[in-house]
A = this chain, B = another copy of it.
Amino acid sequence: MPDLDLVLAHIRLDGVPADLGIGGGRILRVAPPGSLTAPVVEDGAGLLALPGLVDGHIHLDKSFVGLDWIPHRPDPSVAGRIAAEKLQLRALAEPVGERARRLVAQIAARGTTALRSHVDVDAEVGLAGLEALLELRGDVASLLSMQIVAFPQSGVVSHPGGARVLEDAIRAGADVVGGLDPAGIDEDVEGQLAIVFGIAERHGVPIDIHLHDPGELGAWQLRRIAARAKAVGLQGRVAVSHAYALGAVPEAVLARTAAVLAEAGVAIMTNGPGPDPIPPIKRLLAEGVVVFAGSDNIRDAWSPYGNGDMLERARLIGYRAGLLTDAELRLGLDLVTIAPARVLGLPNPGLAEGAVADLVLVVAQHIPEAVAAAPPRSLVMKAGRIIARQGSLV
């Protein structure tokens, strides 16, 4: 047993008093309160410890956080909104990396210790956003772990050069290949999926596809994605973000779709949408489908809402999905900790001995109260180092 660097003393693990012994960036001991010693002892003062929060879906390149207010510009068509966003982002004086850095600081102070960020890549912006995030990733590694998805916001098949830049992005260092509404944006479901799955196979990367297409159209594409994942041996390596369709199709279609998602190991990301239907989380989990959570839009061209606080996100999703009992509220925490950590491939998530010491402390009796109340973060630890106290980086 290596020596302890630090003891986080007198915390609570889902209500049970404990000390955590930290060494080499990991939790080495979970022991009765007052039983551990180390060169540094941090008094947990009876606070509840939660695993580090994981944002399974963020767009670090899109946010206006910290800028003067930019009013939302509505547009009836998706293509119009995409075009409007390009104009708005292009008009910003500040480089994308600086905007993203400010958002990282905000969410790290709120306890996000790992994230999956999509980044726009297309024939116009090229790889500029990706390169900025790759540089930022190194700079902020002490605050959080970052996984990057090459996101074809402008389309794949329908956007000239879209397929090429998507593969270039993987060659340039993106960790995951993205997709976007194969029917709604590209109007060529098999065409887009062939390209996205082809890149995944050639480069050995996972897949994360935005799917807003509604109802039966969305559910059918989910089944097509699952079929491809199974056919090429990518079980457990494919995620679909949003999947509003699951919240809107008849029971028989839901049952059939959930079964193939579970069998193919296709995970579903939800941010607890507002007007759009939310996938039926309790039902999907019962069917064996992996469900995880993310912020999605944080004060950007798509939405003026959002702050990147993943415990508030768990509260929102829990409220929206009707997670009410203590057991259901604990599922709500899993959505923003264990579940996205597994999707991101982070080793050994949680607060057991051997885990990376990514954690947050909050004022709450236990996990159900922490999810229902979403209290502010008293302390944030990343890989054994205290990086924030009372909501501010140290």
Contact = CB atoms under 8 A, between A and B. Distances in A.
Given A275-B322, A324-B304, A299 B372 contact: yes
A373 B74 CA distance: 19
Contacts of A368: 69, 71, 304
Nearest to A304: B372
A72 B328 CA distance: 10
A13 interface: no
Contacts of A373: 299, 307
A77 interface: no
A252 B319 CA distance: 30
A365 interface: yes
A321 interface: yes
Interface string A311-336: 00001101111101110010000000
Interface residues of A, number: 30
Interface in A368-390: 368-369, 372-373
A68 B316 CA distance: 23
A10 interface: no
Given A274-B319, A305-B315, A325 B71 contact: yes
A324 B74 contact: yes
Contacts of A74: 324-325
Contacts of A275: 320-322
Contacts of A324: 72, 74, 303-304
A279 to B, nearest CB: 12
A373 to B, nearest CB: 7
A319 B324 CA distance: 21
A237 interface: no
Nearest to A319: B274
A366 B304 CA distance: 13
A329 B315 contact: no
A274 to B, nearest CB: 4
Contacts of A304: 324, 329, 368-369, 372
Interface centre among A319, A320, A321 (most CB of B within 10 A): A319
A307 B305 CA distance: 19
A305 B320 contact: no
B326 A72 contact: yes
Nearest to A376: B376
Contacts of A305: 315, 318-319, 372
Contacts of A372: 299, 304-305
A193 to B, nearest CB: 30
A373 B65 CA distance: 11
A360 B346 CA distance: 44
Interface centre among A299, A318, A320 (most CB of B within 10 A): A320
A325 B369 contact: no
A18 B49 CA distance: 45
A365 B71 CA distance: 12
A368 B64 CA distance: 14
B72 A320 contact: no
Contact of A325 (B72, B307, B321): B72
A304 to B, nearest CB: 4
Interface of A: 68-69, 71-74, 274-275, 299, 303-305, 307, 315-316, 318-322, 324-326, 329, 365-366, 368-369, 372-373
The 5 closest A-B pairs by CB, nearest first: A304-B372, A275-B322, A72-B324, A274-B319, A71-B326
